[in-house]
Amino acid sequence: MQSLNMLRDNKRVLKQFCNCKILRDSRIQTEDLWVRDGKIVNPEKIFYDEKIKPDVRIDCGGALISPGYIDVQINGGFGIDFSCNIDNVEEGIVKVAKGLLEHGVTSFCPTLVTSPTEIYHKILPRIKKRNGGNHGAGVLGVHIEGPFISPDKKGAHPEHYIRKFEQGFKSVTDMYGDLDNVCMFTLAPEISNATPVIEELYRRNIKVSLGHSIANLNEGEKAVKHGASFITHLFNAMLPFHHRDPGLVGLLTSDQIPPERIIHFGIIADGIHTHPAALRIAHRTHPEGLVLVTDAISALGLEEGIHQLGQFKIEIRKGCAYIAETNTLCGSITELSKCVRHFKEATGCTVVEALEAATLHPARTLGIDFYKGVLNFGADADFILLDEKLEVLSTWISGECVYEKNISNFFLSETI
């Protein structure tokens, strides 16, 4: 048995992952996974065209190989708040990206909440899209959540920073500056001038998400027709479902959605923000659109006790984050692999459905499912090994092991 570390710096070696099951084409298949140059490769070409053997065989001990998890909404973690970490932006991103590897996350969208414009101008240019690796999970782009939201559904967003589209799209560029690093934009569609803003964001290939909103169903449908394609943390920070006007929740079954479009929606399956019955309703109503998100705050990954995070003291007890010395919840601290397990248990869905809600579906949300969130030939070799309880055994990015829970689980043999 050899250390997996021996494989870290040699991307060109041909690796065969054997004694495993893999999630591909929406089913779990018993077959090997082949990787070279950071990509999933087709073994038929290896056998019949190149006629070569693998440089390394990795015995996975019967583990399940899934695409790596993708979190499209995470506000921070491990003591870092992306919206407050002004002086050490790059260092903060690296710290969170590294910490996420343990939880099977191979790519994520750092999320900035409602803030003053100077914060955006200082932070946004410094959160660059980048590939993952030993340094941490890849950055797919920034998810901007606010300040163009409804003050009636502001949640934890500071109301005095909430704004309207008073000058149309110019309000957007004045607020944020350059949008090159942005991949997703949460807004309330009922705000005046929202429609031309949605159209321009869509034209720039920035995914528009509807949330923190009091929009009715008609307003939601109008936004979708003009380019919106996602709903931010379904059920949270929006009008509750009502039988005469289901609001944004009604988009899950709307007959006004163009046939070529699919609405995806984020949902926080942490056992706190969304009741198990609500998870079941969402899953059974529109399973192909469901995307698991953490919406995690800076307290993610910290030990139980009281922590000074920014201007607030936060107490972590029994897996929940509270404002210190109160029973007021202040955000999610549940990591994505736990959300996957809770979602499966709460809904009774299949393993495939649970895993695709954190892999294929978020990749489709961002329009990157041809190379992320899948194990198809030619896709990036970003994947995780899971045991029968869906606990993460190891995390791999571009075919390199970047986290391992227990090295003795893997047996390597060189063939040349």
Query: Which residues are catalytic, by number?
Result: 295
Closest CA to 130 of 100, 88, 103, 94: 94
Q: Tell whether residue 342 is among the known ligand binding residues.
A: no
Query: What does the DSSP 8-state code read for residue 251?
Result: G
Q: Tell whether residue 236 is among the known ligand binding residues.
A: yes
Q: CB of 374 within 8 A of CB of 67?
A: yes
Q: What is the DSSP string of 187-218?
A: E-TTSTTHHHHHHHHHHTTPEEEE-SB---HH
Q: Name every residue whose Cβ is closer than 8 Å to that of residue 381 and which is 6 or more positions away in sequence.
A: 35, 38, 39, 40, 396, 397, 398, 399
Q: CB of 14 within 8 A of CB of 414?
A: no
Encoded tokens for 64: 């399940």
Closest CA to 186 of 143, 226, 150, 156: 143
Q: Tell whether residue 264 is among the known ligand binding residues.
A: no
Q: Tell whether residue 77 is among the known ligand binding residues.
A: no
Q: How far apart are CA 365 and CA 294, in angstroms?
A: 16
String of b and e for 132-168 (b: at least 16 CB within 10 Å)?
A: bbeebbbbbbbbbbbbbbbeebbbebeeebbbebeee
Closest CA to 291 of 263, 249, 259, 331: 263
Query: What does the DSSP 8-state code read for residue 274?
Result: S
Q: How far apart are CA 32 and CA 29, in angstroms?
A: 9
Q: Tell whether residue 327 is among the known ligand binding residues.
A: no
Q: Tell whether residue 145 is among the known ligand binding residues.
A: yes
Q: CB of 24 within 8 A of CB of 372?
A: no
Q: Name every residue whose Cβ is closer than 8 Å to that of residue 376 and which is 6 or more positions away in sequence.
A: 24, 25, 40, 370
Q: How far apart are CA 72 and CA 358, in angstroms?
A: 9
Q: Tell whether residue 237 is among the known ligand binding residues.
A: yes
Q: Tell whether residue 361 is among the known ligand binding residues.
A: no
Describe the crossing of helices 194-203 and 217-225 by its angle, rounded to 10 degrees.
30
Q: Tell whether residue 330 is among the known ligand binding residues.
A: yes
Q: CB of 149 within 8 A of CB of 114?
A: yes
List binding-site positions for Zn(2+): 145, 212, 233
List binding-site positions: 145, 156, 212, 233, 236-237, 244, 273, 329-331
